[in-house]
Amino acid sequence: MRTHNLGYPRIGSRRELKKACENYWAGKITLAELLQAGQQIRQGNWKLQQGAGIGFIPTNDFSYYDHVLDTSLMLGNIPPRFLPLVQEEKKSFPSLYFAMARGYQKGGKDITALEMTKWFDTNYHYLVPEFYRNQTFSFVCTDIIGEFVEARQEGINAKPVILGPVSYLLLGKEKEAGFHRIDLLKNILPVYKEVLDNLKKAGATYVQMDEPCLALDLDDPAKQAFGEAYCYFAQECPGIKVLLASYFGELGDNLPLVCPLPVDTLHIDLARAPEQLDGVLAQIPDSMSLSLGIVDGRNIWKNDCDASLALINRAIRALGEERIWIAPSCSLLHSPCDLDLETDEDILPGKVKRWMSFARQKLDEVVDLSRLSASLPDKETENRLTANRKAHQSRISSALINNLSVQARVAAIQDKDMERGLAFEGRKKLQSATLRLPVLPATTIGSFPQTGDVREVRAKFRKGIMSCQDYEEAVKTFTREAVEIQEEIGLDVLVHGEFERNDMVEYFGERLNGFAFTQNGWVQSYGSRCVKPPVIYGDVSRPVPMTVDWICYAQSLTDRPVKGMLTGPVTILQWSFVRNDQPRSATAMQIALAIRDEVSDLERAGVRIIQVDEPAIREGLPLRKSGYAAYLDWAVKAFKLSMACVQPQTQIHTHMCYSEFNDIIASIAAMDADVITIETSRSQMELLDAFINFKYPNDIGPGVYDIHSPRVPSVAEMENLLSKAMKLIPACQLWVNPDCGLKTRNWDETVQALKNMVQAAENIRKTIV
């Protein structure tokens, strides 16, 4: 049977790409050095997959920032505001490329970046394509051809990967009225044809077309577009075979749409939706091969070889061995690189590590399954099967996983534990009397710049070079300086800056039972931003307070309120690698109880505002609407359980990242946070529409500047956004804040942007009668 991979982590096993990009942006290395670093990562990935025995190896899965942005450049989809850079640079890379990703402030030009949002239900962010009526496209960036040729020269059996035309259009946004972006399909298909023709000339026999939108609920125009697109390819691009890849969920009612398409091979996700196999086997035509996405590309647990072999053998009996391909469920972009790099038992105990598998190990699992299902295993493969069975059995019976007191506490949860006791209107009066804040109070989301000095202090402490006392004194110095800066800027509600925290999820996981950690388990979130998700392997509890001392220290430095900063249970769940031996809802409730204990301790310590961040609550939403109600029921309950223990005069905030809120706005209201802050600046406040149409009852802080870009917005720009917000929401409900935390920015741009933000708020206050 053929084996293939859908994509491999692009960041490098030790985050080489992150370091190269950030050094390039800082002017520390040349473009040639950046491109060399990218080439080394690409070629290393190809050789690694080849050495593992993967049959077809992906190309064009590498990106310096984002694969959707790469597709936009390939198609010449460059928004008009960036055209001056095209004329200047004469090339699509690098200035134009990174300007579209990060914004541009140079030489008198001030250009905002593309909007960014979550990639389906993952924690990866993509840059949203922008579309205009009657827009034309052209084959501008030819990197896809160059990388394929490069791979062939390296002796790689390469399979180019392209984001398919229908998903590309559906993932974008119309920037003017009077048309739907799917109407542009007829304009975009000739460019795809040109790409395929060039790949064919270069020697490609297969191309992988990713159409992840096939896992979504589709309307009739979208369904028709799939038929139109792939019939077009079959007619206009003979001689190159298409592997149509769906992932992240089941095909469901899109299966009858997909099966008649004239493609060579269909890929399905059997890690997320193993129940779809029988339906696919019953409907797939004789002319089509089937790629089984059997190894989970999104989690870190060892594959259950016996369960996988049962699915594979069922497919072989129905279709024959020659029509079956074996692969991971989706791109391994969402998996850390290599478990073999985890060598510190104090960080990742061997008893937990033996249950795990990263991208490098998942390649072996794919190849092993191919050999085992073909009854051609060698001794090494048979030994790995035996080890796999032992690992699964040891996990089932391990005492590390079960905590009976935690399970009993979850079983005892009652509805009253999730209610505040006083409605928002009454709470707001008490909070206003206690806090005495101005109209349009200005605050930040939580973190401040994690400078080299901050990272160096944490690294020294982690390595044992710095004593605990010296470490705490250093962090107190950072905190004191941050409080002083915020007071000087004129913010109304302060934060302590989170200098003691490596990551908003990992920090809490390190202080909770049931979590494990990694040294090098990095995955890409966006651009050069990487995260190292904790591993939830067992029942979760909080042994001791986690944040109280740091928040109380910051509050002792100022008379202005300082927010207690916590990460919510759903986000901790979503941004961790979660145990797969119990429902996610059960794990969420365990985490919620742990956060509830921390909230109670903060309130007892005198903290008047507590922020429980839930940036990932929309991200966890099932891809199909049929699953919304069940998920939102337990997700909202988990959040409310985490914070409903406080008194009415204690103000609860929450924060949510880039998301479309229309379909969950009622559930957001049901969370009953006193204040919600959301990311809206890149969308020019468009995301507020959901809150307006619903008449959201509580307070809201729409972000007025984009922290994911290094550009500093002017006072006038933020005044304009605030004015837009005030046309939609009464000023008495509005807060003023950035889009998100500021840890990735530097102090100079942060201070200037916040000064501009506070000045904008003060200017607008003067206009309020």
Distance between CA 403 and CA 58 in Å, rounded?
A: 43
- Reading the block at residue 351, the tokens are 């008893």
Helix (H) or strand (E) holding 290: strand 289-295
3-state secondary structure of 547: coil
Find tokens 């473009």 and name the residue: 31
**CB proximity list for 603: less than 8 A, separation 6 or greater:** 610, 645, 646, 647, 650
End-to-end CA, the chain? 74
Find tokens 């941050």 and name the residue: 482
Query: What residues form DSSP beta bridges with 653?
Result: 611, 675
- Reading the block at residue 606, the tokens are 């005198």
Distance between CA 104 and CA 440 in Å, rounded?
A: 29
As to burial, measured by CB atoms within 10 angstroms (0-12 exposed, 13-18 middle, 19+ buried), residue 152 is middle
- Answer whether 214's CB lies under 8 Å from 622's CB: no
Q: How would you label 660-682 residue by residue, b for 16+ Cβ within 10 Å and e otherwise?
A: bbeebbebbbebbbbbbbbbbbb
- Answer whether 292's CB lies under 8 Å from 315's CB: yes
Preceding omega of 94 cis (within 30 degrees of 0):
yes
Question: What φ, ψ does residue 539 adopt, rounded to 5°?
Answer: -65, 140
Percent helix, percent strand, percent coil in the chain, to nearest 5: 50, 15, 40
CA distances from residue 244 to 230, 241, 261, 267 in whole angstroms, order as listed: 9, 10, 9, 6
- Per annotation, catalytic residue among 4, 267, 334, 708: 708
Question: What φ, ψ does residue 573 adopt, rounded to 5°?
Answer: -65, -50
- Answer whether 753's CB lies under 8 Å from 705's CB: yes
As to burial, measured by CB atoms within 10 angstroms (0-12 exposed, 13-18 middle, 19+ buried), residue 133 is middle
* Amino acid type, 482: A
- Reading the block at residue 416, the tokens are 């009253």
- Reading the block at residue 38, the tokens are 């990218």
- Reading the block at residue 219, the tokens are 């309307």
For the beta carbon of residue 566, count every other beta carbon within 10 angstroms: 25
For the question of residue 655 being annotated catalytic, the response is: no
- Answer whether 723's CB lies under 8 Å from 764's CB: yes
- E-strand ranges in 34-103 read 57-59
- Answer whether 480's CB lies under 8 Å from 297's CB: no
Positions annotated as catalytic residues are 708
